[in-house]
Amino acid sequence: MGEVLVSESMPDGVAPGGGGRGVPRRSATPGKLTAARRTAIRPSDTSVVLARGPLESREPMTDLIETIRRTLVPIHKEGYPFILIGIVLTVLAGYFSQFFGWIFLILTLWVCYFFRDPERVTPVADGLVVSPADGRVNLIATVLPPPELDLPQVPTLRVSVFMNVFDCHVNRVPVAGRIGQIHYTPGLFLNAELDKASDDNERNGMVIETTHGDQPKRVGVVQIAGLVARRIVGFVSAGDVLGVGERFGLIRFGSRVDVYLPAGATVLVGLGQKAVAGETVLADLGGGPERLFKRI
């Protein structure tokens, strides 16, 4: 039998078939299908194309609350102290001056926006390396990895994603695996877009031990503090086993994340491309043809 996705608004237990005859619906596993339900149809019915209709609800208030919940992006708890300070300053400034009250209100709203922590839909195919950060791919180069990562000191592909102050700064694990080591290095606060920021700036590096097929691989990830950023926050420890796309850290107010790829990997992004943490595929550990890009 073939299968087709039908609208949630179809009557329970019946799917349209040829000649308007109802066909019993297969029972769905709870929690597996949300946007649509699967319905078995006969081969003679495979020419029927079903479009999803508008949601018909008997509880408008419940739907309104759900719509608001999905629209409002969660705020990471690291932002709570800054938001509280912003609220206090807004109240105090507004008491003495309406103008400065509005200024601090706008700044407080921006802090809420900065610390947003949206959900992401992460590809989980074997060998894919996803972006650890929201931002712009500003450097792709073959370099020696930082000594503190304890990776082989041979030319290694590095992909850098720069985050400006308007990007989401929650960082996500680029590949599934075990955290082999974490090393914090104090340093300067140069512009994170500069290539030398990898060597001179404050940074926090870690190595993820993963596998591709039966082959062990090691991927280096380095959080780099930038011109405005003054704090790198980590959520994980050495020995933790993480899934691809999970949150592992945050950098406050403008920064960069470098990914060091093992031999044989192929980069799948271009310079200047917008990257989304946990969603954009940066590279393939299995190699394959390179992608070509042009600015339009």
Give me the tens of pLDDT residue by residue for the chain, a chain 296 residues long.
Answer: 444 444 444 444 444 444 444 444 444 444 343 333 333 434 344 333 344 445 555 677 776 766 766 667 788 888 899 899 999 999 999 999 999 999 999 999 988 988 899 999 999 988 999 999 999 999 999 999 999 999 999 999 999 999 988 899 899 999 999 999 899 998 888 877 888 888 888 899 999 999 887 889 999 999 998 776 568 888 999 999 999 999 999 988 768 999 999 999 999 999 999 999 999 999 999 887 777 787 88
Shared domain for 135 and 267, answered yes or no, is: yes
Number of domains in the chain: 3
| Structural domain harbouring 46 | 2-57
CATH of the domain at 173: 2.70.70
290 within domain boundaries: no
DSSP E strands: which ranges in the chain? Answer: 2-6, 15-16, 22-23, 37-41, 128-130, 135-143, 156-163, 170-172, 177-185, 203-212, 215-225, 232-234, 241-242, 247-251, 255-261, 266-267, 274-275, 281-284
Shared domain for 52 and 82, answered yes or no, is: no
Task: Determine if the pTM surpasses 0.95.
Answer: no
24 within domain boundaries: yes
253 within domain boundaries: yes
CB neighbour list of residue 200: distance below 8 Å, 6 or more residues apart:
187, 188, 190
Catalytic residue among 131, 160, 198, 255: 255
Q: Tokens at residue 220, please?
A: 């280096």
Neighbours of 22 (CB within 10 A): 12
268 within domain boundaries: yes
Shared domain for 15 and 159, answered yes or no, is: no
Shared domain for 87 and 136, answered yes or no, is: no
Shared domain for 280 and 160, answered yes or no, is: yes
Residue located via tokens 């929201």 = 134
Shared domain for 176 and 225, answered yes or no, is: yes
121 within domain boundaries: no
265 within domain boundaries: yes
Shared domain for 210 and 108, answered yes or no, is: no
18 within domain boundaries: yes
Shared domain for 45 and 98, answered yes or no, is: no
Active site (annotated) includes residue 9: no
Shared domain for 279 and 211, answered yes or no, is: yes
Domain's final residue, options 114, 142, 159: 114
Shared domain for 189 and 241, answered yes or no, is: yes
Shared domain for 272 and 134, answered yes or no, is: yes
Whole-number Å distance between alpha carbons of 43 and 58: 34
Helix, coil or strand: residue 296: coil
14 within domain boundaries: yes
Shared domain for 27 and 171, answered yes or no, is: no
